[in-house]
């Protein structure tokens, strides 16, 4: 059940709380450094939500205990298989006529270059076998194919500016990725918007979200993290996230200014 506490998440959360309190940090201060909301930090500590390894790493960095927290995370989660609802999204994407997505941390999978994919797949587990990494890259690349068909859905992406600056892979990896974002943003059925880094307290610090308009199904919601996951059709929740997406779009730079910002960041890569 979605509201059950996962023992693995509970054990990891208890360690986060112990280290946070030992460091003299409030939940609000830790949340500002990850970044996330105070409610998200509370849910992590109470074991109400599973935690990705990259989040464990960022919490550990903020608390100067990365090695300890990553070790605890690995003890609890290595070998953990994602629930079946992770498999739903590609099936819904194939049917969608419009997709809106927001991501605060990384370039979304549908817009990732192969080098960027490889770096993000390898980073959480540096000892991963090359064959396993290659297989995941191929799987992620194949998922992008529906955007290349004759009549693809309209795809609108909102990113936090920190995504452009985050060092993934190598300078060449980031150059290639930003160049691809510029190329993608020039397509008629694609829109990329960026929320400036100096925006105060915007409402998208929690997690990634995808809204999909599907014939005969209306608008569906996909949450990437949190105690509730997968494709959601609940009208109240969908409306809440439609409003959130509208707010995020209102904070973002328009397409032409977004392209200028991407070019600026691209030119600063050394």
CATH classification of the domain holding 20: 1.10.260.40
Instruction: Out of 74-88, 109-123, 158-172, 241-255, pick the least confident.
Output: 74-88
Q: What is the pTM of this model?
A: 0.67
Domain that holds residue 125: 84-268
Most confidently predicted of 27-41, 194-208, 250-264: 250-264
**Residue that is last in its domain, among 24, 48, 77:** 77
Buried b (16+ CB within 10 A) or exposed e, 208-245: bbbbbbbeeeebbbbbbbbbebbbeeeeeebeebeebb
For residue 254, give every residue at least 6 positions away whose Cβ sits within 8 Å of its Cβ, in sequence order, or none.
Answer: 193
Tell me if 69 is assigned to some domain.
yes
Check whether residue 63 and residue 115 sit in a common domain: no
Please indicate whether residue 173 or residue 11 has the higher confidence score (pLDDT): 173
Check whether residue 193 and residue 256 sit in a common domain: yes
Tell me if 101 is assigned to some domain.
yes
- Whether the pLDDT of residue 51 is over 90: the answer is no
pLDDT digits (tens, 9 = 90+) for 210-266: 999 999 889 999 886 544 457 888 888 899 899 999 999 999 999 999 999 999 999
Per-residue pLDDT at 204: 64
Q: What's the number of domains the chain is made of?
A: 2
CATH of residue 217: 3.30.870
Q: CA–CA distance from 185 to each of 111, 249, 255 (Å)?
A: 10, 15, 8
**Residue that is last in its domain, among 41, 61, 77:** 77
Check whether residue 188 and residue 249 sit in a common domain: yes
CB atoms within 10 A of CB 29: 14
């Amino acid at each position: 059940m979605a509201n059950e506490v996962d023992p693995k998440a509970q054990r990891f959360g208890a360690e986060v709380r112990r280290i946070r309190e030992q460091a003299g940090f409030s939940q609000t201060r830790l949340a500002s450094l990850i970044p996330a909301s105070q409610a998200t930090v509370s849910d992590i500590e109470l074991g109400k939500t599973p935690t990705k390894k990259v989040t464990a790493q960022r919490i550990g960095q903020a608390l100067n205990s990365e090695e300890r927290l990553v070790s605890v995370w690995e003890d609890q989660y290595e070998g953990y298989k994602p629930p079946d609802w992770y498999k739903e999204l590609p099936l819904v994407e194939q049917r969608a006529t419009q997709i809106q997505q927001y991501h605060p941390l990384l370039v979304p999978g549908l817009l990732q270059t192969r080098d960027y994919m490889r770096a993000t797949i390898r980073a959480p587990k540096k000892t991963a076998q090359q064959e396993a990494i290659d297989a995941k890259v191929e799987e992620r690349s194949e998922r992008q194919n529906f955007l290349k068909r004759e009549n693809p859905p309209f795809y609108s992406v909102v990113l936090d500016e920190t995504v452009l600056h985050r060092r993934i892979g190598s300078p060449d990896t980031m150059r290639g990725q930003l160049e691809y974002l510029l190329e993608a943003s020039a397509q008629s059925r694609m829109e990329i918007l960026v929320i400036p880094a100096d925006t105060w307290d915007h409402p998208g610090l929690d997690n990634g979200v995808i809204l999909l308009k599907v014939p005969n199904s209306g608008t569906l919601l996909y949450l990437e993290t949190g105690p509730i996951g997968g494709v959601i059709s609940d009208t109240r929740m969908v409306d809440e996230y439609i409003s959130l997406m509208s707010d995020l779009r209102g904070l973002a730079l328009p397409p032409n200014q977004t392209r200028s910002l991407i070019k600026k960041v691209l030119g600063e890569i050394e």
